[in-house]
């Protein structure tokens, strides 16, 4: 993918929907990157396969995960953290592909956050029935950088709440290619994903893949 395409993508976004101060939904934003991103995704999964991690409390997550970038998010009985080494293989996580970095940076800029340079990408795999409970992304060293979340495959209901767990979340249906960007006043808002409905996506099959870009260090 060329730099010219990266520069053109912000002008190709079909819509920009405000969710909260500092949070936007960019409908279909990732579609121009689709072929490069999906090809890179397959290479990442081949080197660092999906696995269902355990929380510190011993609960196995319904969402399977892997990572790419210089830091990878992991969870086990010792806690939540970023680590440069894949605990399953003992090797560094796969490098973040150029297509991933370009998509994350341009989407962040379209959301109002210039010069985003993620060093971690969490790759989440949702099979039908999998869900993500409301949580904050707060394992990063600072919260100045935004979160960029890319949806691929089956549609999902994204729950976006407020600064308190008790705040009632709004519900957004995310389709293949949609990107959510949040930071600034919304950076620590609670969010999650409702149980994934069954279906078959023409590109991704019977699954949803979520790419979550972060600046961990």
Does position 3 have pLDDT exceeding 70, yes or no?
no
**pLDDT tier at 107 (50, 70, 90 boundaries)?**
very high
Strand ranges (DSSP E) for the chain? 15-20, 23-27, 64-69, 72-76, 79-83, 120-126, 132-135, 147-153, 156-160, 170-174, 179-182, 191-193, 208-214
Indicate the SS3 state at residue 12. helix
**pLDDT band, very low/low/confident/very high, at 6 (cuts 50, 70, 90):** very low
| Cα 112 to chain centroid, rounded | 18
Q: For the chain, what is the radius of gyration of the CA atoms?
A: 16
pLDDT value, residue 4: 43
Residues 74-94 pLDDT 10s: 999 999 999 999 999 999 999
Q: What's the whole-model pTM score? A: 0.93
Could you report the per-residue pLDDT of 17-56, keeping only the tens digit for each? 999 999 999 999 999 999 999 999 999 999 999 999 999 9
pLDDT on residue 1? 38
Look up residue 178 and give its two tokens: 């949609």
Q: In this predicted model, what pLDDT tens digit does every residue of 169-201 receive, in sequence order?
A: 999 999 999 999 999 999 999 999 999 999 999
Q: What is the pLDDT of residue 142?
A: 87
What does the pLDDT read at residue 14?
A: 56
| Lowest mean per-residue pLDDT among 5-9, 106-110, 144-148 | 5-9
Indicate the average pLDDT of the chain: 94
* Residue-wise burial string across 3-29, b where 16 or more C-beta atoms lie within 10 A, e elsewhere: eeebeebeeebeeeeebbebbbbbeeb
**Full set of structural domains in the chain with CATH:** 3-214 (2.60.120.590)
Check pLDDT > 90 for residue 2. Answer: no
**β-bridge partners, 201:** 205
């Amino acid at each position: 993918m060329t730099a010219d395409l990266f520069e053109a993508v912000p002008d190709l976004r079909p819509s920009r929907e405000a969710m909260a101060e500092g949070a936007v939904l960019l409908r279909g934003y990732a579609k121009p990157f689709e072929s490069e991103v999906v090809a890179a995704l397959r290479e990442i999964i081949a080197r660092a396969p999906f696995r269902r991690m355990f929380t510190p409390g011993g609960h196995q997550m319904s969402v399977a995960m892997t990572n790419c970038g210089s830091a990878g998010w992991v969870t086990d009985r010792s806690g939540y953290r970023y680590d440069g080494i894949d605990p399953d293989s003992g090797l560094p996580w796969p490098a973040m592909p150029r297509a991933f970095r370009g998509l994350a940076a341009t989407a962040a800029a379209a959301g109002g956050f210039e010069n985003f340079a993620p060093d971690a990408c969490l790759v989440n795999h949702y099979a039908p029935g999998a869900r993500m409970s409301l949580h904050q992304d707060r394992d990063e060293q600072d919260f100045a950088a935004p979160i960029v979340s890319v949806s691929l495959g089956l549609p999902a209901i994204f729950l976006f709440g407020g600064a308190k767990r008790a705040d009632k979340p709004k519900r957004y249906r995310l389709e293949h290619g949609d990107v959510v960007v949040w930071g600034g006043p919304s950076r620590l808002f609670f969010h999650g994903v409702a149980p994934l409905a069954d279906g078959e996506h023409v590109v991704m099959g019977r699954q949803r893949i979520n790419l979550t870009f972060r600046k961990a260090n």
